[in-house]
Amino acid sequence: MSDTRKKTMMPFAFFEDKIIESEKAKISIAAHSIQYGTTCFSGMRGYLRGSEIRVFRIYDHYERLINAAKILGWDFQMEFDKFQKAISDLIKANKPKSDCYFRPFIYSEDEELTPKFKGISYDMAMYMIPLGDYLDTSRGLRLIVSSWKKFQDASIPTKAKAGGSYLNSSLARTEAIRYGYDEALVMDDNWNIVEGSAENFMIVYRGEVIIPQVGSSMLEGITMRTVIDILKEQKIPFRFEKIDRSMLYTCDEVLLTGTGAQILFAESVDDRPIGNKSMGAVCKILRDEFSKIIEMKNTISNKWITKITI
């Protein structure tokens, strides 16, 4: 069998409480996590600046991961210090030569046939990949509203970033790609648009930024929370509200936010042009302010950025 599998991991991973060669971090094919998608995860960015990696909002990613295990009712605890040390040890082992991405996740290797969460054990592992732009930031995206709906929180907890639930994201994104678009937006059961396949979403409508309600079926993104803080700081009016298709097609800007995507704008949705198809005023302010945070030119940077020497 020729090995054409895509491989992106950096050489070292954190696995079973140790830094080991990524190639040796293997789990059983009968593992609960493989068979039932029993994982919850996070994704953090590290920016290479000189001889240090600046990791963005480590504590918030840790907190969301721990809360995911709590929402799912998993018997799993981990101190923040251990999480932070794993990141630092990984950076020193992998010595990244570019911006990078950390993928910490909680999983179960138990060979348990029954799909249940009680009576199985959990562990945390983490790996790194090099990561530049995840979607093209130099132009506006061409979006579609997917025919696949976002699952409801009453079916699978939407704030848990659970591995299995990404079948839903994959269906939506694949549909977009299949029809020649960049990314898909998904609707909830009430036909309001709530998210991108792997990004939060907001619009600029009649001079205000409108963000879907956190309690709708969406993941509460850390980039979205950062953007909300920038909006407050810049005194740009915003509110949380339902967004229907008519608002989407007639708004001035459509924005996507995420750790991978960062801050992106759409040039069209379902072939309807958005604004004049170029970057809008709000997107520009958000990108400029976000980059000031990463470049340590904003006082808030000290709170959100952890510098780790390679």
**Binding positions for ligand PMP, rule: CB under 6 A:** 43, 169, 195, 198-200, 219, 221-224, 257-259
Complex with ligand PMP: residue 169 or 216, whichever CB lies closer: 169
Complex with ligand PMP: residue 108 or 217, whichever CB lies closer: 217
**Torsion of the alpha carbons at 274, 277, 278 and 281, rounded to the nearest 10:** -30
What is the nearest approach in angstroms of ligand PMP to the Cβ of residue 142?
19
Residue number with the smallest Cβ distance to ligand PMP: 221
Beta bridge pairs of residue 123: 107
Complex with ligand PMP: residue 43 or 140, whichever CB lies closer: 43
Report how far residue 182's alpha carbon sits from residue 142's, in angstroms, rounded to the nearest whole number. 5
What is the nearest approach in angstroms of ligand PMP to the Cβ of residue 246?
23
What is the nearest approach in angstroms of ligand PMP to the Cβ of residue 200?
5
Spatial contact of 267 and 277, defined as CB atoms under 8 Å apart:
yes
Closest among 84, 122, 124 to 104, alpha carbons compared: 124
Complex with ligand PMP: residue 45 or 142, whichever CB lies closer: 45
What is the nearest approach in angstroms of ligand PMP to the Cβ of residue 179?
20
Complex with ligand PMP: residue 120 or 202, whichever CB lies closer: 202
What is the nearest approach in angstroms of ligand PMP to the Cβ of residue 292?
18
What is the nearest approach in angstroms of ligand PMP to the Cβ of residue 75?
25
Complex with ligand PMP: residue 204 or 222, whichever CB lies closer: 222
